[in-house]
Amino acid sequence: MEQQHKRRVRYKGTHPRSFHEKYKELNPEKYQDTIAHVIEKGGTPAGMHIPIMVPEILDFLQIQPGDCGLDATLGYGGHTAKMLECLQGQGHICALDVDPVEMEKTRARLAAMGYGADILTVLHQNFANIDLVGEEYGKFQFVLADLGVSSMQIDNPERGFTYKYDGPLDLRLDPTRGTSAAERLRELTQEEVEGMLVTNSDEPYAAEIAKAVTAVFRKGGRIDTTLELRDVIGQALCALPEKERRETLKKSCARTFQALRIDVNSEFEVLEAFLSKLPDVLAPGGRAAILTFHSGEDRLVKQSFKSLYREGVYREISRDVIRPSAQECNSNSRARSTKMRWAVRA
């Protein structure tokens, strides 16, 4: 049967604006020139994720051919591919991801690069369960955890991670499990919403936003989409001077979505479980590197590493955070908030 020709996506104006209109960026193998141009301008192509602090990570992990390692957060597979290169065809990497949609895309992408099941095992698993992975695959010489949400999740409006585009207010890393952000908001009291915003994102207008959100539900309304939540946050900040309001709205939206995402995915609880089990999956002398993207995550990693160092579980830890270079931050704006900490198993 003859395959029907598929017309390219049509869009208004000279350049595509929405995620699905960016058909060239969404086909990186076919439109490599477009991808290179977007990256050169400091952007992240739609549907892709640029790995952060690769040289710093590889410099610390000191991966040798024959090593066995764990990428606790597979994502787009950028870090994984670089670590696989270091193995030079010898050894093995287990890679975990809670997102079944992006996980399969990445598995196929890495397989096309020559990294099949002989050297890479991809598991649909939350990294809170690294103890189960360790029981099956043994101890690891190196472990990496990149705690950031991948760009392809943020940019896709269907996932509900951004206030910039209209989409369902979901925010689940695994859309097949758990409660969506829209459902979660309906469950919380005003005090609980305020507490969530303060604890998860240090939101200065937490009280005003919590009051506006719960007022919608008290009146029988709903907040089911990303733009509906953005509008409610805007109403909460309506008393601010007009000049101040626009920039404050952007920051408060970003912090509110972050706080909701952390809550919906139980990110702090998951991270605490991962940190407590991490030493047990590391071989003696094994190295672990963790990338964090906000103060709450970094604080948990710092406290865990310090505590376990004092107990003699780790023989060495990073004394200060390691940050991406100014050059990397200029070329990839999403790297600016990144902090890296590391530990070496005793």
Asked if residue 166 belongs to a domain, the reply is no
Which of 264, 288, 319 is the C-terminal boundary of a domain?
264
- Decide if 64 contacts 89 (C-beta within 8 A): no
Residue 84 to residues 78, 90, 103, 245, 282, Cα–Cα distance (Å): 10, 9, 17, 47, 18
254 and 178 in a single domain? The answer is yes
Record the tokens describing residue 165, joined without a space: 């585009």
Q: What pLDDT, on the 0 to 100 scale, is given for residue 1?
A: 45
Judged by DSSP in three states, 210 sits in helix
Same domain, yes or no: 74 and 133: yes
Q: What is the CATH number of the domain that holds 125?
A: 3.40.50.150
Instruction: Assess if residue 306 is contained within a domain.
Output: yes
Please check whether residue 159 lies inside any domain of the structure. Answer: no
Start-end of H helices in 41-77: 54-61
Establish if 315 belongs to a structural domain: yes
Domain edge (last residue) among 235, 264, 293: 264
Q: Angle 313-137-280 (CA atoms, 0-180°, nearest 5)? A: 15
- What pLDDT is attached to residue 165? 86
Its pTM stands at 0.84
Whether 301 and 331 map to the same domain: the answer is yes
List per-block mean pLDDT (blocks of 10 residues) for the chain, which spans 346 residues.
53 56 53 54 59 95 97 93 96 94 90 95 96 96 90 76 89 90 95 96 96 96 96 94 90 94 94 97 97 92 97 96 92 88 98
253 and 278 inside one domain: no
Q: How far apart are CA 155 and CA 164, in angstroms?
A: 9
Asked if 294 and 319 count as a contact pair (C-beta separation under 8 A), the reply is: no
Q: Are 316 and 230 within one domain?
A: no
**Structure letter (DSSP) for residue 336:** T
d(CA 75, CA 107): 10
Are both 252 and 178 inside the same structural domain? yes
Q: Which two tokens stand for residue 294?
A: 């906000």
Q: Is 131 exposed, middle or buried (0-12, 13-18, 19+ CB in 10 A)?
A: middle
Strand partners, 288: 143, 343
Residue 59: other Cβ atoms inside 10 A:
11
Structural domain including 68 reads 54-151+268-345
* Cross-strand partners of 289: 144, 342
- Give the whole-angstrom CA distance, residue 14 versus residue 11: 8
| 244 and 286 fall within a common domain | no
Looking at residue 12, the DSSP 8-state letter turns out to be: S
Taking alpha carbons only, the member of 90, 97, 89 closest to residue 113 is 89
The number of folded domains in the chain is 3
Give domain status of residue 165, yes or no: no
Element (H, E) at 315: strand 314-317
CA distance linking residue 239 with residue 272, whole number of Å:
39
Dihedral of alpha carbons 232, 234, 240, 241, sign? negative
